[in-house]
Structures are given as structure tokens and as C-alpha cells.
Amino acid sequence: MRKYNVAIVGIRGAVGQEMLKILRERKFPYDQLKLISTSIEQDATDAEGNRIEKINKDSFKGVHIGLFSPGAAVSKIWAPIAAKAGCIVIDNTSQFRMDKDVPLVVPEVNPEEIKNHKGIIANPNCSTIQMVVVLKPLHDYAKIKRIVVSTYQSVSGAGSEAIEELQKQSKDPSYPPAKFPHPIAFNMLPHIDVFQPNFYTKEEVKMKNETQKILKDKSIKVTATCVRVPVIRSHSESVNIETERKITREKAIKLLSKAPGVIVVDDVTKNKYPLPIDAANKDETFVGRIREDESIKNGLNLWIVSDNLRKGAALNAIQIAEELIKSGNL
């Protein structure tokens, strides 16, 4: 079996660490593995004895695949440099997602887009990934006209400092907020990313634009409200869809039970439905509370939960890399 040289850029962040963990778990066929940081002054060694390289112009010589999660401003500079050196970049930041020349890929949904890369492939936003994995089979069956989504997003989506802030405030509610504008422990914040002129946040706009691009259908109407909740790991979403033809609860369950990467957890008689605590450290996206919307003719409600650090970020990027190898587009 051929092996590949791989670089993780942003290794010191939560997603970078998750990428390293998943590469090992899935026995990814790497030969050399470079761990690269953009925030250190000189090369260093981590607690496990792994060498961490300070990013430089020669970092990507001989590297086949670059898994990037260093922040959009950093990717903007270094992803093109890596691509020019012959490295295929799979970028987890928001920098290239809406670039018309960059594929935006969820392997269970639109793997065919991978072949269109020009050196960079974008990983979608975490909240978008888990939603489209579930909606794709429903869209194929009945064509979705409109999506109304409210997200309940864990603090790990805002990084390790946000996790620490929640933990400290949970022990001491007077601990002052720094990562968030208000206390997050015992609270919820209807505010993720910066507010836009239309009063939506950037996170909410991402969900609309990315969903339309991934599903290749700009006619789908999407409106989102994104909320930060005091959960460490896994995002939850309440999703209401309106379709061109009716999908019964039974048909939805049948379609979703066969969907790749999806697990249906739906037995309200036993209080079984997806929970963030159960989705943590799992690869799959979980869906439940499936029910027909009685307020419109062709509506459906769903509750979707997934680990934002795994499927919402690191795992999806590595699945793209695996698909690149399998399809011969590397």
C-alpha cells in the first residue's frame, strides 16, 4: 500500500489534536507526519515527545496532504503556499468555503466535488456538516424548499479557552467571562461569531450559504439561529424542513436508517433521542424526534446531534483525504 506524507497545521488547537488522534485511530496510510504550528517562535517538542515545527516556507516540500486548522487569517496566507508546493490542502477554516474554485465537501453528501480541486479543498462549518449529512437523503427524495434551524452549540466550538471558561464558571459563577461576552455556565448565548448588517451572525450566514453550495441548490431557503450552550462537546440542532412532496415520519426513518454516517435514535416511549453526551467521541451523526410538522402540508421536524470536533471538523477532513486516495485524485 502506498503511503503519504501528511502535515497537520494548527496542531496545538483542539481540532489539530483531534486530527492527530483520528489519523492514528483510522490507521491512515501516512509515512512522514509533520506537526506544524503557526503560533510558536521556534521548533518545539510536545508532552508526548513529538516534534512541532514552526511554519516556514519549506514546511510543505514533499508533503502530499495538508490538514489545516490554524484560523482563517493563517490559512489565507499559508494554504496557497502549501498548494503551490504540491501539497493538497484540506482546510477546516472559513477562508475558502465560498470560493467558487474551491470544493466544499462532506464525503457522505458530495464526494464527487473532490475531483474539482485546484490544490485546496474546504471543510464546511461544523453545524452545517451535521445538518446536511441528515438532510441529503431527504432532499434527494422530496426536494427541500425551506430550512429553519436553531443550533445549540457546545463551547468546544470556540476552542480550548472556551472549555476552560465554562469549567471555571461552573465551579465559581463569579468567574469573569473573557472568551464570551457574557457568562456561559448556567446560561445560553444567542450569539456565535460576529453580527452582520442584516442582524444575523456570521455563523448563521455560513449555514445558509454553505448548505446551498453543498446541496447544489440556491433555491433552498435557509434561516438559522445559532446559540452557544453550556455543553463541552457535541452540537445539537432543531431542524424544520418544508419539502415539495410529503415525507411521512415512517418514510423519513426508513431513508435515514440507510443513510451513510447517520444513526437514528428515536423511541420516545423509552425516552430515546440523541444527546450531546452520547454523541461525544463518536463518528456518526445522530437524528431523532422525527415528526411531521402539523402546521404545514409538507413539513418535518428533526433533532440532530453530532460531535463538532470529530464529524464537524477533524474527521470530515480526514474522510476527504481518504476519499482523495480512494478516488485517485491525489
Catalytic one of 87, 126, 139, 226: 126
Give the contacts of 307 (CB within 8 A, at least 6 positions apart).
233, 234, 279, 280, 281, 282, 283
Q: Is 126 a catalytic residue?
A: yes
**Hey, what's the torsion of the CAs at 4, 69, 78, 20, to 10 degrees?**
-30
Question: 154 phi and psi, to 5 degrees?
Answer: -70, 160
Question: 214 phi and psi, to 5 degrees?
Answer: -65, -45
Between CA 67 and CA 60 the distance in angstroms is 11
Q: Is 226 a catalytic residue?
A: no
Rounded alpha-carbon distances, angstroms, from residue 295 to 47, 289, 299: 56, 16, 8
Give the helix/strand (H/E) hosting 149: strand 144-153
Give the single-character DSSP code of 174.
T
Catalytic one of 64, 117, 139, 235: 235
- As to burial, measured by CB atoms within 10 angstroms (0-12 exposed, 13-18 middle, 19+ buried), residue 26 is middle
- Active-site annotation, residues: 126, 235
